[in-house]
Amino acid sequence: MTHTSSFEIKNAETFFNEMVLPQYEEFLRNNSSSQYALLTTIMAYHLYEWVHKKKFTLDEFKAVYPAHNLLVQDFEVARNITNGTKHFSNKSVTTRTQKGFSSAFSDGFARPLIIQYPDGTEISADQFLRKLIEFWKEQKANDAF
């Protein structure tokens, strides 16, 4: 079965432009919203499937994007968050909230949504999502989709 269109979303580029980027912008306007953080994570993760027309795997990501091997952990975390959100299971990633500042402030200020990696390190949802979105912007600029 060939996928032709979901409304006007026909390919990876329109999915990115019409879904992922606007959702990310909503998150940046309200970075304390778990709704916006989760939806942005889900969309940025699933963009991999739109681009490659198959599911994400760690080995394939490393092979296709050898210059971005450090991002493989972020995509694995995004997969765990995505699946945990869809299927009500957390896997190896935990999240928490705290008092924090908006995305308009520098990363030196605390942020309201925090993601904890399996190794115990923490990152703000702002920094996490920025890495995913910047990766996809770079891929688009390089005509990868």
Question: What digits encode the pLDDT tens for the residues 33-49?
Answer: 999 999 999 999 999 99
Q: How many domains does the chain have?
A: 1
User: Which bin fits 143, alpha (ψ -120 to 50), beta or left (φ > 0)?
Assistant: left
Residue 86, token pair as written in the block: 């869809």
Nearest to 47 by CA among 67, 8, 17, 74: 17
Report yes or no on 3 lying in a domain.
no
Question: What digits encode the pLDDT tens for the residues 4-36?
Answer: 667 888 899 999 999 999 999 999 999 999 999
Query: In the predicted model, what is the mean pLDDT of residues 59-71?
Result: 94
Report yes or no on 133 lying in a domain.
yes
Q: Which domain holds residue 86?
A: 12-141
Report yes or no on 4 lying in a domain.
no
Residue 47, token pair as written in the block: 């963009």
Report yes or no on 7 lying in a domain.
no
Beta strands in 1-145 (DSSP E): 94-97, 113-116, 122-124
Q: What pTM, to 2 d.p., does this model score? A: 0.90
Report yes or no on 44 lying in a domain.
yes
